[in-house]
């Protein structure tokens, strides 16, 4: 699975709809301090299901909704879509017939939120399952932020094991085992 496109609307500093294409092997985002580079990474992390406002550099989840500026009113909703190509075939079997997978997350100021896969409403669990064992995901190793390398090097063995299990592809089975044991 490879990121093709990121669409942001009303998320943090992005008041108008912005579509970023990821065509080449490497995409760099450059710009002056405070222009929104890290907000792009936050948007990717959020749409993949991040539940912690702190991990998105905010106090409450509502902080991710565009809060207005001197000239623009705050918005009532944030929406981010992340589009993946399925060309490499490394996708769950039920998505093999699709040429792309679009994951969307919305949040309204009243706290209501939606997740959608290919525009069909779904559960957070479905989004999490889509990314399990791919190394992508809100908590996986596809996003290496400042300090993460050091954190991995200094992690306790059981914390490091989580990353190894994700890479080895056993995360999904462990999650299913937890559900099965509860039944
Ligand atoms: P640096 O180079 O310093 O790391 P950056 O390009 O990574 O900067 P970001 O941290 O992505 O910058 O963006 C910070 C900007 O986003 C700030 O100007 C902040 O006011 C704005 N911002 C964050 N949340 C919101 C929000 N909810 N509504 C409007 N603007 C927001
Ligand atoms: Mg930054």
Q: Is 37 annotated as a binding residue?
A: yes
Evaluate whether ipTM surpasses 0.95.
Answer: yes
State the average pLDDT for the chain.
91
What is the rounded average pLDDT of the residues 26-36?
A: 94
Domain region containing 42: 2-123
Examine the pLDDT at 112 and tell me if it is beyond 90: yes
Question: Has residue 156 been placed in a domain?
Answer: no
Smallest CA separation from ligand 1 atom 23, residue: 12
Domains: count for the chain: 1
pLDDT on residue 136: 80
The finding on whether 37 has its CB within 6 A of some atom of ligand 1 is: yes
Q: What are the φ/ψ torsions at residue 116 (nearest 5 degrees)?
A: -135, 140
Q: Is there a domain that residue 172 lies in?
A: no
Residue 128 has pLDDT above 70, yes or no: yes
- Is 32 annotated to bind a ligand? Reply is yes
The structure tokens listed for 29 are: 């985002």
Asked if residue 29 has its Cβ within 6 Å of ligand 1, the reply is no
In a domain, 163, yes or no: no
* CATH number of the domain within which 40 lies: 3.40.50.300
Q: How many whole angstroms from 106 Cα to the centroid of ligand 1?
A: 19
Q: pLDDT tens digits, residue range 82-95?
A: 999 988 888 888 88
Dihedral sign, CA of 117, 48, 27, 162? negative
- The answer to whether residue 180 sits within a structural domain is no
Tell me: pLDDT of 7 over 90. Answer: yes
**Residue 85 resides in a domain:** yes
- pTM here? 0.89
Q: To 10 degrees, what angle do helices 171-182 and 124-131 make?
A: 140
Beta carbon of 146 within 6 Å of any ligand 1 atom:
no
The stretch 17-42 carries a mean pLDDT of 94
38 is annotated as contributing to ligand binding: yes
Query: Within a domain: residue 131?
Result: no
Q: Tell me, using a 6 A CB cutoff, whether residue 172 lines ligand 1.
A: no
Residue 73 counted as an annotated binding residue: no
Please work out, in degrees rounded to the nearest 5, the angle formed at the alpha carbon of residue 106 by the alpha carbons of 120 and 16: 115
- 60-107 pLDDT, tens per residue? 999 999 999 999 999 999 999 999 998 888 888 888 899 999 999 999
Indicate if ligand 1 lies below 6 Å from the C-beta of 58.
Answer: no
DSSP-derived 3-state class of residue 81 = strand
Q: 3: CA distance to ligand 1 center in Å? A: 23
Q: Which ligand is nearest to the CA of 73?
A: 1
In a domain, 167, yes or no: no
**9-18, 63-72, 138-147, 158-167: range with lowest mean pLDDT:** 138-147
Q: How many CA atoms lie within 13 A of 178 on its CB side?
A: 5
Percent of the chain with pLDDT over 70: 99
- At 138, the pLDDT band (50, 70, 90 cuts) reads low
Q: Which ligand is nearest to the CA of 74?
A: 1
> Does 70 map to a domain?
yes
Report whether 115 contacts 123 (CB < 8 A).
yes
């Amino acid at each position: 699975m490879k990121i093709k496109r990121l669409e942001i609307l009303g998320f943090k500093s992005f008041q108008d709809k912005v579509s970023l294409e990821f065509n080449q092997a490497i995409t760099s985002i450059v710009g002056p301090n405070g222009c929104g580079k890290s907000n792009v990474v936050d948007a990717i992390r959020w749409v993949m299901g991040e539940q912690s406002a702190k991990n998105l550099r905010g106090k409450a989840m509502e902080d991710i909704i565009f809060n207005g500026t001197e000239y623009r009113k705050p918005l009532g909703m944030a929406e981010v879509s992340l589009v993946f190509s399925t060309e490499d075939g490394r996708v769950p079997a039920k998505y093999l017939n699709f040429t792309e997978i679009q994951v969307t997350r919305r949040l309204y100021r009243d706290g209501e939120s939606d997740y959608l896969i290919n525009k069909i409403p779904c559960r957070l669990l479905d989004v999490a399952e889509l990314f399990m064992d791919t190394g992508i995901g809100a908590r996986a190793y596809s996003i290496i932020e400042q300090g993460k390398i050091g954190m991995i090097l200094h992690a306790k063995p059981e914390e490091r094991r989580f990353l190894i299990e994700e890479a080895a592809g056993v995360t999904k089975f462990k999650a299913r085992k937890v559900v099965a044991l509860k039944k």
